[in-house]
Amino acid sequence: MTDTTLDFVPAAVRALMTHSHSGRTFAVTSPATGQVFAHAADCAADEAHAAADLAAATFVTWRSTTAFERAAILRRWFNLMLEHVQPIARLMSLEMGKPITEAVGEVRYAAGFIEWFAEEAKRVYGETVPGHLPNKRLFVIKQPVGPVFAVTPWNFPAAMVTRKAAPALAAGCTFILKPAEQSPLTAYYLAYLWQQAGGPAGAFQVLTAQDPVPVAQTLMQDERIRKITFTGSTEVGKLLYAQSAATMKRISLELGGHAPFLIFEDADIDLAVQEVLLSKFRNAGQTCVCANRIYVHTSLQDEFARRLAEAVQTLRLGDPLDENTRVGPLIDLQGLHKVQAHVADAIAGGAKVLVGGQVAQGLFFQPTVIVGIKPTMRVMTEETFGPVAPLLSFETEAEAIRLANETPYGLAAYLYTNDLNRAIRVAEALDYGIIGLNDGLPSTPQVPFGGFKNSGIGREGGKWGLEEYLEVKYISLALH
């Protein structure tokens, strides 16, 4: 039986979790047990107004700290996160069902963004540009864009927060975060550690809400909020993109994906199977970058399917707090119903389930491999966001590229080949922001993360991630 008490969370974090002006809270349910195990503050428009006031006031002082001061606070925040890896991971695992070993990995990944941007804070260089007249001196400097509103998803309750917050804070911006209502608690732990590290409370604020609309509308309409950053569905991203026009906010969008995984005839099948497992079944297939369509060269098709099915059969589905669990539950009924509907649609269209294909219990869906997929099936046209691996085949390299690019999305794509020339050729031809070349898990803090086409705008991570929070200012000096 899962232990769902929150005694392992510091009392100060628990106090932050439920604090709202009205005193209203909403229930947080464990997807593994279906039990309510905690409550979160139910914030509304008045909290959003107050947060914007505080973010604007704090921006005046935070922006004028030196990069070295900000870097020191970020570095302390990073160290504190590492000291609190276990309780943060446990909280995350409880609220969204991520297997505990993956949750520990996510906390380290999340802390990695803080470490990276603590260092990058000191590297916001300006430039001088040659003048067009003898008395002109031209300078370009970079300044923080201003208070930021961030909306983060439930699938990575720590890493998607720090991937946005760390560069914003490093640049000198203040930050208001609205985490997802399904997994609202981890963000409060991060806010607590930020304050423990010496960060001003007004620089990093969390607003949780059962109904996110009043909070989001208030902040989207506020002229003082100069940037919106969102990770989530393409549908909501497009709405925010349109709304941001009224106040001309800068925007970063990290949206849906529909990642192809191409396995060429020269691939090492065992290694390819391992990389597909990493990509497809991480977080029970609930990532924007997970392989959604696995295309295998016809010469390997049957052998690959057999070995993948064997490997998938060994993935242990179960209690996320058990260290041996490899695949946890889906986030909620809506998520489960979508996965069920995709599998049922494929079967109705003539596809064959090699392994899995059923609900195990509650929100747990068996890790699944399906063959006989047709391009019109829902698994091929929508993001499944579940532990389902559809297998297809191709004959030629050109066909593989065409099939991979035949989607409105362009976040991540994967290929497995031992032919160096092909590797470069195909990687260059894929219309995607992230390419995993013989690598099912390319994410890491120091690289750009983001997509082409309907997968979003802008990049997070690495030096590119910092630029998203900086304005460019040109200063012309005339000598007299």
Residues acting as catalytic residues: 254, 288
Position 289 contacts ligand SIN (CB under 6 A): yes
Site for ligand SIN in 424-443 (CB under 6 A): 443
Nearer to ligand SIN, 289 or 413 (CB): 289
| Interface pattern 159-198 for ligand SIN (x via CB under 6 A) | x---------------------------------------
CB 185 within 8 A of CB 206: no
Which of 287, 368, 407, 455 binds ligand SIN (CB under 6 A)? It is 287
Supply angle C-alpha 117, 119, 120, rounded to 5: 60
Contact string (CB under 6 A) for ligand SIN, positions 137-166, x = contact: ------------------xx--x-------
Give which of 434, 436, 438, 441 is closest to 460, Cα–Cα.
434
Q: Are 440 and 414 in contact (CB under 8 A)?
A: yes
Among 74, 288, 403, 413, interactor with ligand SIN by CB under 6 A: 288
Taken in order 349, 350, 354, 357, the sign of the CA dihedral is positive
**Minimum distance from residue 120 beta carbon to ligand SIN (Å):** 18
Footprint of ligand SIN on residues 202-231 (CB under 6 A)? 231
Closest separation in Å from C-beta 441 to ligand SIN: 8
DSSP string, 327-366: B---SSHHHHHHHHHHHHHHHHTT-EEEE--SEEETTEE-
102 or 222: CB nearest ligand SIN: 102
Q: What is the CA radius of gyration of the chain?
A: 23
Query: How far apart are CB 161 and ligand SIN at their closest, in Å?
Result: 12
Q: Is 30 in the site for ligand SIN (CB under 6 A)?
A: no
Give the binding-site size for ligand SIN (rule: CB under 6 A): 8
Nearest approach in angstroms of CB 47 to ligand SIN is 26
Q: Mapping DSSP to helix (H, G, I), strand (E, B) and coil, where does residue 118 land?
A: helix
- Of 156 and 304, the one with the shorter C-beta distance to ligand SIN is 156
Best CA proximity match to 108, nearest among 140, 134, 72, 84: 84
Pairing of strands 412-416, 434-437: parallel
Whole-number Cα distances in Å, 4 to 8, 38, 84, 179 = 10, 8, 18, 21
Report in angstroms how near the CB of residue 443 gets to ligand SIN at its nearest.
Answer: 3
Based on the shown chain and the rule CB under 6 A, indicate whether residue 6 belongs to the binding site for ligand SIN: no
Nearer to ligand SIN, 155 or 325 (CB): 155
**Is there binding between residue 253 and ligand SIN (CB under 6 A)?**
no
Residue 128 vs residues 64, 171, 260, 464, 476: alpha-carbon distances, Å? 22, 20, 44, 21, 10
* Site of interaction with ligand SIN (CB under 6 A): 155-156, 159, 231, 287-289, 443
